[in-house]
């Protein structure tokens, strides 16, 4: 955070479109944090809604609650993964175990390492900084 209590994020974060997929109230907080960080965020509570949004718009990153992903049927989740293609997908978790050691890879780049909800903006920043330039970014 800077001295004005603004979250420090990737330069021009507002140019990046994120689809947050979560059927829990945690999506409200994740979307709030990302919007506060300057990202354009759309939320979907069901995979069917996410498919519709993916077909009608392009996103720079997908953010999904790890519990939601694990509870989805295998075929439907595989269909979702095909739909997102090479677009980065970050998993996050509302489950935090403060007394256990965390994985050193908190990038959110693999399904084995969901990032804590409180660190979702930092994880998205890191993934977007590493992602190749995409044509979906809107003009500033």
Q: Domain extents for the chain?
A: 12-94
Q: Provide the token pair at 82.
A: 């095909």
Single out the residue of 22, 72, 24 nearest to residue 42, CA to CA.
22
3.40.190.10, 3.40.50.2300, 3.40.50.1820, 3.40.640.10: which CATH number matches 12-94?
Answer: 3.40.50.2300
The pLDDT value recorded for residue 65 is 86
pLDDT band at 134 (very low <50, low <70, confident <90, very high): low
Name the more confident of 73 and 13.
Answer: 73
Q: How far apart are CA 118 and CA 116, in angstroms?
A: 5
pTM value > 0.75: no
pLDDT digits (tens, 9 = 90+) for 93-115: 877 654 333 444 444 444 457 88
Give the range among 55-59, 91-95, 125-129 with minimum mean pLDDT: 91-95
12, pLDDT greater than 50: yes
């Amino acid at each position: 955070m800077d001295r004005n209590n603004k979250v420090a994020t990737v330069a021009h974060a507002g140019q990046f479109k994120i689809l947050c997929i979560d059927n829990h109230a945690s999506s409200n907080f994740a979307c709030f944090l990302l919007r506060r960080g300057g990202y354009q965020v759309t939320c979907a509570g069901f995979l069917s809604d996410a498919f519709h949004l993916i077909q009608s718009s392009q996103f720079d990153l997908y953010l999904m609650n790890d519990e939601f992903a694990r509870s989805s049927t295998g075929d439907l989740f595989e269909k979702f993964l095909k739909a997102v293609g090479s677009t980065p997908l970050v998993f996050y978790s509302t489950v935090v175990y403060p007394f256990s050691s965390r994985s050193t890879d908190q990038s959110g780049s693999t399904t084995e390492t969901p990032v804590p909800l409180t660190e979702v903006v930092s994880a998205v920043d890191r993934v977007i900084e590493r992602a190749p330039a995409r044509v979906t970014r809107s003009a500033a």
